[in-house]
Amino acid sequence: MPGRLQNFWFREEPPHALALVRILLGLALAWDAARHWPYAVELYSTAGFPIPAFDDVRWRPPVPWAGAAVALSSLQVFAWLAVAAGWCTRWSLAAGSVTLGWLALLDLPGTFAKYTAIALHACVWLFVSRCGDAWSVDTAWRGWWRDPDPRAPCWPRRLLQLFVCSVYLSAGLTKISTDFASGELLHFALLHDAWGGTRLGYELASSWPLTAAASLATLLFELWFPILVWFPRGRRPMLAAAVAFHAATGLLLDVGAFSPVMLALLPAFLEPDDLRFREALATPRAWLRARSHFSRRIGWLAAAAGCLAVGVTIQVVSDRDGALGIRRPAAPKPLRDEVAADWLNERQPADGDWFHRIDLGQRVAGVRAWGKSDRFRRGEKVWIVARLVRPHPAVEWSGTLLAPDGSTVAEFAATIEPATLYAARAFELTETLPPGAYRIVFLANGYEFAERRFEIVE
C-alpha cells in the first residue's frame, strides 16, 4: 500500500494534462473578465454601487476609485490571457487570482459566484504545479526544446482531481436534502428571469417528465462521478457524461462562466496515454530563441502595461457616467407625476398569480398528481394538486365542478395559509354522473383565474 500511495501522489509524469487545464481555464476566465470589464466603474469603484462581502466585519477589500477599478479589470483580462498562453505563468496566475478575488468581493451577487470560488481554488493547484512547462510561451522562451518530454510530480493534479470530485459530491448531497429529484427546483430555475429564460430551457420546462428525468440524471451524475471516475473503465464514460452535463447546463441555464470553468478542469483526469497527440502540438520555438528570464519578464510587464493603457484609454474616451472626470454626467430627466406614483406604489400580484401550477390526476403521491388527467371513470376521484409561489398571503381557494350542461355538480373551498406550498383537493365522481365533457373552474379570493377540462367515459 505505501508503494501504491507513493505512486499515486508522487509519480513523475508529463505536465500536459495540467497544461491543458491552464489553457482552457485561462480562456474561460478571460472571457468572464471581459464580460465584466465594460462595467468596471459601476461594479467595482467608489463611483458605482459596490456590495462588499465583509461589510459587517472590520476588514474588507478596499474599494478603488474609478480609474483604478478600470486598470485592475484590464490587468485581470491580460493576466488570464497570459495564463492561457503560458507566459510568465506563475506571475500571471498570481495577478489574475489577486485581481479576481479583489474585484469579485466588491460585487458579491454578480461576480463572486460559485464558479469564482472554484476557479480561485483551481488556480492554487496550478500555481504550485509545473503547468507552464508544456504548450506555453515559457517553454519556448527558456529554450526547453532540448527537453522534449518534461516531467513533474503528479500531486498537484491529484489535488485538483479531488477538488473537482468534492464539488460534484457536495452538490449531489445538497440536492438529496431537497426535493430536487422531483424536478420542481429545475423547473423553477428554467423559468427564472435571472437563471433561466433560454428557449431550450422553456421547451424543457414545458414537459414535467423531461424535467424530472433531467433532475434525476443530474443527481445520479453528481453522486456517481466522484466514485466511477477513479476506475479505468469508468473514467472516460464519466468524463463524457461531465462534458454533456456542463454543455447542457450552459445551453439551458444562465450560469455565467460556471460551465466553461468546470469543462476547463476536466482535463485534469486525463492520463498521459490519453494525450499521445501532444507531440503534434509542440510549441513553435524558432521565433522565441531568447533565453533570458529577465527579458521574458520585462516583456510581460510591458505587455501588461500596454493592456492597462489600452483599457483605461477606451474607458476614459467613453466615460459614460462622468465617473472618470472627462464628461459631466447628464442631468436626469424629471419623471412625470403619474410615472413616479406608479413606481412608488407597491402593486401586489393578481390573486391567481400566486398559483404556479394546477395538476389533475387519478391519485396523489408526494407533491404530484399521477395518472391520466383528461379521462376518468365513474367511481374514481379527480385529484387536484396546486403548487403556489412563496411568499404569498392567505388565499381563499375554491373550485366548482361543472357538468356538460353547465350545472354545478360539486364545489370545494379552502383557505391556503401563507406557509403552504402545496394544496390538494379531490372530487368524487359518483355513479349518477353522465358521461361527457366536464370543467373545473378555480377561483382565488372570489376571482376566476383558471379552469381544467376532463372527460368521464363509460
pLDDT digits (tens, 9 = 90+) for 216-271: 999 999 999 999 999 989 999 999 999 999 999 998 988 889 999 999 999 999 98
Cis peptide leading into residue 434 (ω within 30°): no
Between residues 99 and 178, the one the model is more confident about: 99
Q: What is the pLDDT of residue 407?
A: 92
Q: For residue 324, what is its C-alpha cell? A: 472618470
Angle between helices 89-104 and 16-36 (to 10 degrees): 40
Query: Of the candidates 318, 336, 359, which is a domain's last residue?
Result: 318
Note whether 314 and 376 are same-domain residues: no
Note whether 78 and 204 are same-domain residues: yes
> Has residue 123 been placed in a domain?
yes
* pLDDT tens per residue across span 72-99: 999 999 999 999 999 999 999 999 999 9
List CB contacts of 272: < 8 A, sequence separation 6 or more.
Answer: 13, 14, 16, 17
Distance CA 283, CA 165 (A): 31
Residue 141 has pLDDT above 80, yes or no: no
Global confidence as pTM? 0.76
3-state secondary structure 329-392: CCCCCCCCHHHHHHHHCCCCCCHHHHEEEEEEECEEECCEEECCCCEEECCCEEEEEEEECCCC
> Has residue 323 been placed in a domain?
no
Note whether 365 and 313 are same-domain residues: no
Answer yes or no: are the C-beta atoms of 257 and 31 closer than 8 Å.
yes
Could you write out the DSSP letters of every residue in 379-440?
T-EEEEEEEE-SS---EEEEEEEE-TTS-EEEEEEEEE-TT--EEEEEEE--TTSPSEEEEE
- What proportion of the chain, given as a percentage, has pLDDT over 70? 86
* pLDDT tens per residue across span 321-343: 667 766 666 667 777 776 666 66
Query: Of the candidates 297, 318, 339, which is a domain's last residue?
Result: 318
Q: Which residues pair with 51 in a beta bridge?
A: 107
Answer yes or no: are the C-beta atoms of 210 and 204 closer than 8 Å.
yes
Distance CA 269, CA 275 (A): 11
Distance CA 458, CA 448 (A): 30
Q: How many domains does the chain have?
A: 2
The residue with cell 381563499 is 396
Q: The domain containing residue 297 runs over which residues?
A: 11-318
Note whether 258 and 396 are same-domain residues: no
The Cβ of residue 24 has, within 10 Å, a number of other Cβ atoms equal to 18
Residue 369 has pLDDT above 60, yes or no: yes
Note whether 359 and 273 are same-domain residues: no
Q: What is the pLDDT of residue 344?
A: 67
For the domain that residue 384 is a member of, what is the CATH number? 2.60.40.1930
Note whether 360 and 257 are same-domain residues: no
Q: What is the pLDDT of residue 314?
A: 80
Q: What is the pLDDT of residue 178?
A: 79
Instruction: Please state, rounded to an integer, the average pLDDT across all residues of the chain.
Output: 85
List CB contacts of 363: < 8 A, sequence separation 6 or more.
Answer: 369, 370, 371, 381, 383
Q: Which residues pair with 453 in a beta bridge?
A: 439
Q: For residue 323, what is its C-alpha cell? A: 465617473
- What proportion of the chain, given as a percentage, has pLDDT over 90? 47
* pLDDT tens per residue across span 257-314: 999 999 999 999 998 877 765 444 444 444 444 445 556 677 778 888 888 788 878 8
